[in-house]
Amino acid sequence: MTGLERGTIERDGVRLSFLIGGEGPPVVLLHGLAGSAEEFAPTARALLPDHRVVALDQRGHGHSTRRPADLSRRAYADDVAAVIEHAGGPVTLVGQSMGGHTALLVAAWHPELVERLILVEAGVGGTDDPDAGRRIEDFFAGWPVPFVSREAAAEHLGGTPIAHAWAADLDGDLRPRFDADVMGAAIAPVLAAARWDEWAAITAATLLVRGERGIIPQAEVDRMLELQPAARLVEVAGAEHDVHLDQPEAWYEILRTAATERQP
């Protein structure tokens, strides 16, 4: 973890663990569902030494409290607000997938803490599929843990960049650092409602980063840009949902440029 060290803060009885390092304008990185700060460690290092970077293990993930009582969207957003204050905000706030949904809410509910907002393969949430949450939870519950090795885990999970990230972050017993039922409970409020009002209320300079083969529907992206005409969209060639892992060099360049742009 060259240039990064692990820190913690406590908020409302929950331990929040994060990787932190560097000096300069602060950037906070939020992983997606079932991810962790570790998958964003290469991104954090790409910003050093020109930024103070914090990569958070969100509640229920990584080295943070594994089974918090509160898995609401408000709890996730207020955790991030506390971390931003610890980092010396306002910040460039970056979130991928569910982490992007969290970042969106932070920017809407705590506008004084967010100077720039970068959403990576993230939208406003909501779904018409009543079984979406159950399928996600069943996927994680179906992992044959403990795995026999990290290599076997990556292969079983599909051999993709995110599969390798999950495998690398297994604990010493080769089990994930999260519980499937917690993942189901965490994603449920993301799926429950589309947060169009919050999206429309954001005042931070905003960048949407989309994978060429990502999962955010075109109609949703179009409406997001309609409601926030000052927001910009960048599409990353060859990337799927995990842009930061699928095309890391292209992602680093996008992030470095966005994090140093002067605001109007």
- Residue 41 has a pLDDT of 97
What CATH number has the domain bearing residue 45?
3.40.50.1820
132-137 long-range CB contacts below 8 Å, 24 or more apart?
132/191, 133/184, 133/187, 133/188, 133/191, 134/184, 136/33, 136/183, 136/184, 136/187, 137/180, 137/181, 137/183, 137/184, 137/187
Helices (H) and strands (E) in the chain, counts: 11, 8
User: Residues 11-40: what's their mean pLDDT?
Assistant: 97
- Residue 2 has a pLDDT of 66
Q: How confident is the model at residue 89 (pLDDT cuts 50, 70, 90)?
A: confident
Per-residue pLDDT tens digits for 151-177: 999 999 999 999 999 999 999 999 999
Specify if 148 maps to a domain. no
Specify if 223 maps to a domain. yes
Specify if 54 maps to a domain. yes
DSSP 60: T
Specify if 50 maps to a domain. yes
Q: How confident is the model at residue 12 (pLDDT cuts 50, 70, 90)?
A: very high
Per-residue pLDDT tens digits for 108-152: 999 999 999 999 999 999 999 999 999 999 999 999 999 999 999
Specify if 28 maps to a domain. yes
Specify if 146 maps to a domain. no
Specify if 186 maps to a domain. no
- Domain span holding position 80: 5-124+193-260
Number of domains in the chain: 1
Model's pTM, two decimal places?
0.97
Specify if 13 maps to a domain. yes
- 227: CB partners within 8 A, 6+ apart: 196, 199, 200
Q: How confident is the model at residue 1 (pLDDT cuts 50, 70, 90)?
A: very low
Report the candidate in 73, 75, 119, 127 with the shortest Cα–Cα distance to residue 100. Answer: 119
